[in-house]
């Protein structure tokens, strides 16, 4: 009598199945890792952008508030297009009596290079940017009571999108304007600022802000 054949169930995986499964798992893990890395980079870039946005707006507001009461006739140099100016000296009124204004001492807002990173096309201070500078507010210019306040650091040498080539690269009506740029059209003074920084990935981030204020005659 023939005994009935018994089919044995196969246990485990073949070598091919193990290899294929490992490859699929590796691809999945790689995809997850790349997604996580990409998300981490985007997060770091976003954090730096947010910080720059807050800082640049704060500086813009301070500059605008300082100059808002100044008279147009006292603005020097005349920040006319297409060159504009990266420095502006102005005076604010002290008193108003009998139809006339008594003006106070001169103040100045300007872009300045750092002593440790002079205007030479080289990143002397190794912060990742060549010839970046600061925005300085100077009150009582030329007097014994003169004071200087740094309003912003990490100011781009040229406004975002601009290069020193005699052209209006960023199509804002100005040529080769600095990272702090003033331009006066009629009684409207426009202020533009670009701040830069490196995020934790080492990538360059920039933020540009602008506003226009009406100046007195």
11 band by pLDDT with thresholds 50, 70 and 90? low
Angle (CA) 8-9-12 rounded to 5° is 130
SS3 40: helix
Q: What is the pLDDT of residues 23-43, one digit of tens each?
A: 766 777 676 666 666 666 776
pLDDT greater at residue 73 or residue 135: 135
pLDDT tier for residue 10 given thresholds of 50, 70 and 90 = low
What is the CB-side half-sphere exposure of residue 22 using CA atoms within 13 A? 7
Positions of E strands within the chain: 87-97, 100-113, 133-139, 147-155, 180-185, 188-198, 204-214
Q: How confident is the model at residue 115 (pLDDT cuts 50, 70, 90)?
A: very high
Question: How are beta strands 180-185 and 147-155 bridged, if at all?
Answer: unpaired
Angle CA 56–135–83, to nearest 5:
95
Which residues, 6 or more positions from 152, have their beta carbon under 8 angstroms from its beta carbon?
55, 56, 59, 134, 135, 193, 195
Mean pLDDT of the chain: 87
Tens of pLDDT along 172-202? 999 999 999 999 999 899 999 999 999 888 8
Classify the C-alpha dihedral 23-26-32-37 as positive or negative. negative
- 145 versus 20: which is more confidently predicted? 145
CA 157 to chain centre: 11
| Residue 170 DSSP class | T
């Amino acid at each position: 009598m023939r005994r009935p054949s018994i089919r044995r169930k196969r246990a485990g995986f073949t070598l091919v199945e193990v290899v294929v499964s490992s490859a699929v798992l590796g691809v999945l893990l790689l995809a997850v890792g790349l997604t996580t890395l990409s998300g981490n980079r985007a997060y770091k870039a976003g954090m730096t952008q947010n910080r720059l946005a807050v800082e640049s707006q704060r500086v813009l507001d301070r500059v605008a508030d300082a100059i808002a009461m100044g008279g147009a006739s006292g603005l020097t140099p005349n920040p006319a297009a297409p060159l504009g100016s990266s420095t502006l000296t102005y005076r604010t009124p002290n008193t108003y009596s009998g139809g006339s204004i008594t003006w106070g001492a001169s103040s100045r807002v300007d872009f300045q290079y750092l002593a440790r990173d002079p205007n030479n096309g080289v990143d002397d201070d190794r912060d990742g940017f060549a010839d970046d500078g600061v925005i300085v507010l100077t009150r009582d210019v030329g007097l014994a009571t003169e004071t200087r306040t740094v309003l912003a650091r990490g100011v781009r040498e040229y406004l975002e999108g601009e290069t020193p080539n005699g052209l209006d690269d960023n199509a804002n009506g100005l040529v080769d304007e600095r990272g702090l740029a003033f331009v006066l059209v009629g009684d409207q003074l426009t202020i533009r600022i670009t701040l830069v920084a490196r995020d934790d990935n080492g990538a360059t981030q920039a933020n540009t802000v602008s506003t226009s204020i009406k100046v007195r005659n």
